[in-house]
């Protein structure tokens, strides 16, 4: 089954809503990019979330959230934009296994001679199975056809995330854009 069918759950996992796990966000950028010259944005084609020949509900929610974040920073949607925006994601089933020594409960023997710590006789193993989602937001300089900024969020998918898709998608996109330090420059006066 294609990974993209699971994309709605991926995006849900990355939300910041009540009781949701806060995603880890990482960013990278082209150090030679001149962000002072970018004023407009538009969508890359095809978008990373649309692989079946139609626009999904997840894509529409994602586009609305990205548009909200970009316009809040002064960028304007345009047919021939300075920046192209793309987004993609994936889900992975993860298992984390952690073995810890049993907590010490004292020593055998009187006055500690000949004594062995009690934890030497056992350990506890914890197994955590969960779904991890990774969300990428790319900003591409359209004129150079080069990636200039990338935000990546990684988090757990929970049942609450699945039940509140729109809110979680908006929160995940906001978390990524919280690490975007730029604002569009003011339009030149005519």
Domain that holds residue 42: 3-92+137-177
Tell me how far apart the alpha carbons of residues 59 and 184 are, in angstroms, rounded to a whole number. 24
Is 140:164 a contact under the CB 8 Å cutoff? no
Q: Is residue 122 part of a domain?
A: no
CA angle at residue 61 from 55 to 63, to 5 degrees?
Answer: 75
For every residue of 47-63, DSSP letters joined together read -TT--SSS--HHHHHHH
Q: Is residue 113 part of a domain?
A: no
Number of domains in the chain: 1
Q: What is the three-class DSSP state of 119?
A: helix
Q: Is residue 164 part of a domain?
A: yes
Mean pLDDT (the chain) is 80
pLDDT above 70: percentage of residues in the chain: 75
Q: Is residue 182 part of a domain?
A: no
Q: Is residue 131 part of a domain?
A: no
Preceding amide of 46 cis, omega within 30: yes
pTM for this prediction: 0.72
- Summarize pLDDT for 54-101 with one digit per residue, the tens: 777 888 888 999 999 999 999 999 999 999 999 987 778 888 888 887
Judged by average pLDDT, the poorest of 13-27, 53-67, 120-134, 166-180 is 13-27
Tell me how far apart the alpha carbons of residues 118 and 116 are, in angstroms, rounded to a whole number. 6
- Summarize pLDDT for 152-163 with one digit per residue, the tens: 999 987 878 878
At 18, which CATH number? 3.30.160
């Amino acid at each position: 089954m294609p990974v993209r069918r699971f994309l709605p759950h991926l995006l849900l996992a990355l939300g910041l809503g009540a009781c949701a796990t806060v995603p880890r966000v990482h960013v990278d950028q082209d150090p030679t990019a001149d962000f002072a010259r970018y004023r407009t944005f538009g969508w890359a084609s095809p978008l990373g979330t649309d692989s079946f020949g139609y626009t999904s509900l997840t894509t529409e929610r994602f586009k609305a959230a990205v548009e909200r974040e970009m316009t809040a920073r002064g960028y304007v949607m345009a047919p021939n934009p300075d920046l192209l925006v793309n987004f993609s994601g994936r889900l992975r089933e993860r298992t984390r296994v952690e073995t810890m020594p049993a907590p010490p409960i004292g020593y055998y023997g009187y006055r500690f001679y000949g004594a062995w710590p009690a934890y030497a006789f056992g350990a506890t193993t914890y197994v955590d199975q969960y779904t991890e989602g990774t969300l990428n937001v790319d900003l591409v300089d359209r004129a150079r056809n080069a990636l200039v900024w990338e935000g990546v969020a990684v988090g757990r998918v929970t049942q609450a995330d699945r039940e509140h898709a729109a809110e979680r998608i908006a929160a995940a996109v906001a978390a990524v854009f919280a690490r975007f330090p730029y604002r569009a420059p003011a339009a030149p006066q005519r």
